[in-house]
Amino acid sequence: MTNSLPENPTAEELRSFYLREGRGEEQRLQAGAADEKQRLERALFEERIMQESSARDWVDERERILDEIEQVRAAAAAAERRSPAALLDATAAVLPVSFSRQPPVVAPFSREACGVNLVLSEDGYEATRTRGCRQSVAVGSSPLQRTAHGWFFEVVIGETVTGWVGGLGIGVTSTPPAELRRVPDKAWRLPSTYIVGYWGCVFLDGTERRTEWRSDTLQAGSRVGLLVTADAGDLIVFVDDVPAVFAPGALRSGDSERREIEPLYPVVDVFAATRMVTLSERPSPPEPPWNVDEHLLPTDVAAVRDSPRSTRAVNNGNADLMDTHALTDWSQHGRNLAYEAGVAGIASRLSSGDSTRVPESEGRSATVVTSGYR
């Protein structure tokens, strides 16, 4: 049977012819599609082979470059070890990591170890007394970090009040704030505390000494820093970078000589003439040498108590007796002497028409009631 069409085909012959032609075209199309599919698959396979080969070449090249870099580094390190400069550097002094050039950060005051008359700022670095003259103790929330010279912190006097006897107390304590069940009315009552100030006092772990420095003379803007030297345990108070009090070996004497100095927490007493202080966040101690002489050394309380100045103060009924005798003796007798001497001075001032404000002393009211005047 031929695929040609007769000269005069019938309808049936025409239908059969076209059916045969259609099937043939479909078969040709299917055969062409299969060939195209095979060609594409072969091209894709060849492309994949080329890519894998290129990737392998890239990995090999990368490893070769890394090997060359390592060889260069090893050669440079070997040359540096052989150089004279490297030998000199190997003998250079190495300081501990904490002895950095930048001063360490001093943590803010603790809100848990804070006197009832004291208000701290939002950041905890500013302490303001809101009433009275005591119950204004503030302790740092974290220990001081040791620097090359020792342990140092500083406060700036923000506000003072005239008419008070005594002023700022500044020191350190090794009692953590978390161990304090209550904050005492004065910072020197804290256990293991070394503090200077008030009315010319130095309290070394409960032992009282006297000093010529009076913190009630501080003015707003004054910077008061305290340094405990690292090796000797000396205690030095600076006012605007000038030494004001020097207690050699204060933290290395007695029982403290047998224990480590650290940790040390900053402690301040915003007492009497001092009303507001700001704790410096990154203070730096003055660079040595520090010019300290004998007049900066604390003296024994008994020597002050037996001095002629103390006797004259008692005989004269001077309210400044607090500076020389009574407030160095914390017995009730000493308190009464101070108060009675103060009353005599107040009475004399009022009778002469002097209306100057009279301070409270040891929490007593300064208002005096006697016959004839108030």
pLDDT single digits (tens) 24-71: 777 777 777 888 888 888 888 888 888 777 777 878 888 888 888 888
Distance CA 158, CA 273 (A): 11
Encoded tokens for 291:
């010019």
Mean pLDDT of 127-134: 94
Q: At 325, is the pLDDT very low, low, confident or very high (cuts 50, 70, 90)?
A: very low
Instruction: Give the DSSP letter string of 32-89.
Output: HHHHHHHHHHHHHHHHHHHHHHHHHHHHHHHHHHHHHHHHHHHHHHHHHHHSHHHHHH
The total number of residues written for the chain in this structure = 374
Mean pLDDT of 304-321: 37
Asked if residue 340 has pLDDT above 80, the reply is: no
Phi-psi region of 16 (alpha: psi -120 to 50; beta: other; left: phi over 0): alpha
Asked if residue 322 has pLDDT above 80, the reply is: no
Whole-structure pTM over 0.75, yes or no? no
Q: At 254, is the pLDDT very low, low, confident or very high (cuts 50, 70, 90)?
A: low
92 or 323: which leads in pLDDT: 92
Phi, psi of 245, rounded to the nearest 5 degrees: -140, 140
Average of per-residue pLDDT values in the chain: 76
Instruction: Give the DSSP letter string of 155-218.
Output: EEEEEE-TT-S---EEEEESS-GGG-SS--SSGGGSTTEEEEETTTEEEETTEEEE-S--GGG-
- The maximal CA–CA distance of the chain, rounded, in angstroms, is 162
- Give per-residue pLDDT as tens, 147-161: 999 999 999 999 999
Q: Taken in order 132, 133, 137, 138, is the CA torsion positive or negative?
A: positive
DSSP label at 153?
E
pLDDT number for residue 291:
84
Place of tokens 């101070």: 338
Quick check: bond before 285 cis, omega within 30?
A: no
pLDDT number for residue 256:
52
Q: Taken in order 290, 294, 295, 299, is the CA torsion positive or negative?
A: positive
Phi, psi of 93, rounded to the nearest 5 degrees: -70, 140
Place of tokens 């040359």: 79
299 or 25: which leads in pLDDT: 299
Q: At 342, is the pLDDT very low, low, confident or very high (cuts 50, 70, 90)?
A: low
- Least confident span in 25-29, 222-226, 253-257, 298-302: 253-257
Asked if residue 274 has pLDDT above 70, the reply is: yes
Q: At 81, is the pLDDT very low, low, confident or very high (cuts 50, 70, 90)?
A: low
pLDDT number for residue 333:
37
